[in-house]
Structure 1
Amino acid sequence: MISVDLLTKVAQRRYGSIEKASGRHGLGIYAGTVGLLLNSFLAITKIVFGVLSHSIALVADGVNNFSDAISSMVVILGMNIARKPPDRKHPYGHGRMEYVTGLVVSFLVLSIGVQFLYQSVLRIIEPQVLTPQKGAIFFMVLAMVIKLWMTRFYKKISKLTGSLTFEASATDAISDVLITSVVLLSYIIGSVTKYPIDAYMGLLISIWVTKESIGLIKDTLNPLLGEAPDQELIRKIEARAKEEPLVLGTHDLFLHNYGSGKYMGTMDVEFWHDVDMMTIHDALDNIEKDIESELGVKLVLHMDPIMTKTEEQKTLYKELKRWVESRDDVLDLHDFRFVNKGEKDLVCVELTIDGEKSKHLEDKEYYKSEIRKIVNNHFPGYDLYMDIDIGFRDEPK
């Protein structure tokens, strides 16, 4: 077999540095093409041997490889469509077509899996004699070797591009090795016995194909319905914003997915209210440009002023922020300001609590009383006005 390292080095020389989007795109299409060709070869050959041998298990294994070939085709199609520039009717590009195509393909694979379930049950009821074919056993061994090579290849591509798609493909390839080994065993046993073990293996593989297709449907539906963005990406965006010396904090980050790896969104960035407006504008502009160039996310940032006029007010704000950092059930505190309404002095804040970790979702007064204690230590007699939102985050802050 061709060396994985040699093959990836040749690809990198052809498509350029993976530090650039064009290099990652080229490498992704290259890997998808390799997967399409190899899986198509395995699928066609297994189906031919399976039909000639009357082996429903081997045919089902070929169909499983066929679904892998289609997945590779979707990757190639999606990456090419995603590169198509926006137009008047599609100002955000065409990246979501990848998900639509994947959904159609997933339903196709599901229908094939169900059909083979039916055929396998018929074979159990009315067994057929297996007709061994010369070269079938050798080919199945070769297929396992190819899939082991593809596992290493996909892992290498995933490491170079940071693509979860190819990481999943590596896992799928190693599972295919196990499936083919079971088919090989049933093929050998079925050649020397009349027991319909081949039909039972076909049934198991059909269930596997059906299960995988349902998983594919879920994976393609989620981004179309609007799934939560990757938490690591969120942390990188927030971390880059906080590298700016004048930035006090960030909140209300909203990201919208318009295709694989293509995000647009908005985020509020906090500054002291008395910082020069042009200075803030330049800082936000730098953050937007850096995030787009480094992470490929196009953001529109909104300046959120922290209204404090005295050192004591700043001290209160910092203490409230420390309180937030000490809590696992609180995600953020923002929109901090002092307001005077006639004879009333108010401290206004907005709090975002974790919808999964909080034990006080039905008792929001609990959080108000906690904040009120801190406020009263610095500004006794001030009233508290507080809005509470519910958010979700997969990983700890």
Structure 2
Amino acid sequence: MLSKLLVRTFVKNYEDTNNEKVRESFGLLGGIIGIAINIILFTIKLSVGLIVASIAVMADAFNNLSDAASSIITIVGFKMSNKPADEEHPFGHGRIEYISALIVSFMVILVGFQFVKSSFERVINPEPITFEAVPFFLILGSIIFKFWLSKFNKYIGKTINSSALKAASFDALGDVVTSSCVALSLLLPKFTTLPVDGYIGILVALVILYSGYSLVKETVNPLLGEAPDPQLVKKIKESVLEYENITGVHDLIIHNYGHGKCMASIHAEIPSDIDIMQIHDIIDTAEREISKEFNIYLVIHMDPICTDCEEIKSCKRMVEKIIEYNPLVKSMHDFRVVGDGEKKNLIFDVVVNSWQLDKMMTEEELKEKITQDIKNLHPQYNCIITVDNDFM
């Protein structure tokens, strides 16, 4: 409830999440709240850590300070990602948001390493911890603040589909765990003389390191070129097929240059005997309307196919039946029959996952197997097969 109230109060036109200015406002709100809360928590925890001489509490305090710095980086990332396209970056600067999330991740890891060292030294040279009620309840209060901050960042991160804010949410949730361990380190000395402070400090540091690793993994994927959202893939294909005279689609490739900066290309199968001007107008309309609907830049390539030849239809059904039982082949397209007389060429493309194919056989071996299966039934046909990789 509070999250929605803050968004409605400070973000103008908050429902228009595809608008870059609105997304920037979301990022600014998340960053400012993150800075404010983390600075307050750093001050509280550092004071508590100094009062009770706890390395675990001070580790948690500086973790909050790094989170405040992370919020600043998040704000800068949102600002820079909205820079317009220029000569060197024709698709804009949207990926800067991913880079800012990556910087946050490395800062989290750095804090973790620093406090592994400090906590290990405390294990070797333990110091007594005196339980005090006020510092203990201050730490408990910080846990509540961090839990709310995690939920808030998750809410706005999901609203605008921001990897940076999702990373901040995950980091804050990790802080809930570490602060809980810190609270435990203040409570346990009432019941034991063991040097639990150093050990819990190491545990806190390891949780911080794991959080950093998870964030790096999550933010590196879009930079390297992760597979697109399956729902977006499905919707684009279904939308293209809704247009008149488009009978099939294949070879959809989506490039992500940041939120709202996606470029996609797809091949659309059309009847070979249709008027070229008529189908060109249909393709233009599809590109324009689908690009607007999904906030992408779509390019459609036309693949003319013969739809009224009984021999081609019969051969295609035969090949489809053969490849149906091949676990490596996902689909077939661009089927043609070329030649006269008894000897003819079947020309077609098969779609595979290259990573799966590489584990079992080479492309040439796959083509040879399909060709041999066809020749076993129809020796008169030669096959010219192209292996396409499925990028989905």
C-alpha displacement of 1:158? 4.5
Residue pair 2:251, 2:390 contacting (<8 A) in 1 also: no
Q: How many residue pairs get matched? A: 387
**Does structure 1 residue 366 correspond to structure 2 residue 369?**
yes
163 and 107 in structure 1: CA distance in 2 versus 1, 3 angstrom threshold: closer
Q: Is residue 2:282 matched to residue 1:289?
A: no
* Corresponding position of 1:239: 238
SS at match of 2:339: strand
1:194 deviation in Å?
4.2
- Shift of the alpha carbon at 1:272? 1.7
Q: 8 Å contact 2:350–2:385 — kept in the other structure?
A: yes
1:293/1:38 Cα in 2 relative to 1: closer, same or farther (>3 Å)? farther
- What is the CA RMSD across the aligned residues, in angstroms? 3.3
**2:342, 2:380 within 8 Å by CA — same for their partners in 1?**
no
| Superposition map of 1:62-141 within 5 A | 62-130=61-129, 135-141=134-140
* 8 A Cα contact 1:57 1:183, kept in partner: yes
Q: For the residues of structure 1 that align with 2:26 and 2:103, how far apart are their CA atoms?
A: 25
Equivalent residue runs for 1:124-273 within 5 Å: 124-130=123-129, 135-163=134-162, 166-167=165-166, 169-190=168-189, 193-273=192-272
TM-superposed deviation, 1:196: 1.6
Instruction: Render the CA deviation track for 1:37-85: whole Å, top value 9, x for unaligned.
Output: 3233323432332234321111222333344444443433332222110
Paired amino acid for 1:361: M
Q: TM-score, normalised by structure 2?
A: 0.84
Q: 1:298 to 1:36 in 2, by over 3 A?
A: farther
Alpha-carbon deviation of 1:390?
4.2
8 Å CA contact 1:355–1:392 kept in 2: the answer is no
- The residue number in structure 1 matching 2:333 is 334
Distance 2:72 2:215 in 1: 14
Q: Does the residue aligned with 1:15 lie in a helix, a strand or coil? A: coil
Q: 1:147 to 1:111 in 2, by over 3 A?
A: closer
What TM-score, normalized to structure 1? 0.83
Given that residues 15 and 27 in structure 1 are in contact (C-alpha distance below 8 angstroms), is that contact kept between their aligned partners in structure 2?
Answer: no
**Equivalent residue in structure 2 for 1:15, among 13, 23, 36:** 13
- The residue that corresponds to 2:344 in the other structure is 345
Mapped partners of 1:58, 1:136: distance in 2: 10
* Per-residue Cα deviation, 1:122-146 (whole angstroms, up to 9, x for no partner): 1100112335567322221211222
Residue 304 (structure 1) aligns with: 303
Say if 2:39 is the partner of 1:40: yes
The residue aligned with 2:55 is 56
Provide the C-alpha distance between the structure 2 equivalents of 1:272 and 1:372, rounded to a whole number of angstroms: 28
Cα offsets for 1:305-355 (capped at 9, x unmatched): 224552442465467568777876422312222222798422200101234
- Residue 240 of structure 1 deviates from its aligned partner by 2.0
Tell me which residue corresponds to 1:275: 274
**Whole-angstrom distance in 2 between the partners of 1:175 and 1:223:** 22
Partner SS state of residue 259, structure 1: coil
Unmatched runs of 5 consecutive residues or more in structure 2? none
**Could you tell me how far 1:120 is from its partner in structure 2?**
0.7
Write the letter of the residue equivalent to 2:361: L
**Structure 2 CA distance for aligned equivalents of residues 110 and 288 of structure 1:** 44
C-alpha displacement of 1:289: 2.4
One-letter amino acid matched to 2:156: I
Q: 1:75 to 1:232 in 2, by over 3 A?
A: farther
CA shift at 1:301, angstroms?
A: 2.1
Question: How far 1:159 sits from its partner (Å)?
Answer: 4.8
Change (3 A) 1:44 1:197: same
Q: Which amino acid aligns with 1:137?
A: F
> 1:78·1:95 contact (CA, 8 Å) conserved in 2?
no
Preserved contact between residue 107 and residue 213 of structure 1 (Cα < 8 Å)? yes
Residue 253 of structure 1 aligns to a residue whose secondary structure is strand
Please tell me whether the aligned partners of residues 268 and 301 of structure 1 are also in contact (alpha carbons under 8 angstroms).
yes
Structure 1's 155 and 113: CA in aligned 2 closer, same or farther, altered over 3 A?
A: closer
Q: CA 1:196 to 1:262, structure 2 compared with 1: closer, same or farther past 3 Å?
A: farther
Q: Percent identity?
A: 35
Counterpart-to-counterpart distance in 1, 2:351 and 2:109 = 41
Residues 277 and 66 of structure 1, relative CA distance in 2, 3 Å threshold: farther
> Which amino acid counterpart does residue 306 of structure 1 have in structure 2?
I
- Larger mean Cα displacement after TM superposition, 139-148 or 192-201: 192-201
Instruction: Work out the CA distance in 2 between the residues paired with 1:163 and 1:239.
Output: 26
What amino acid is the match of 2:134?
G
Q: After superposition, what is the alpha-carbon deviation per residue over 1:339-373, rounded to whole angstroms, capped at 9, x for unaligned?
A: 22798422200101234666853541333345567
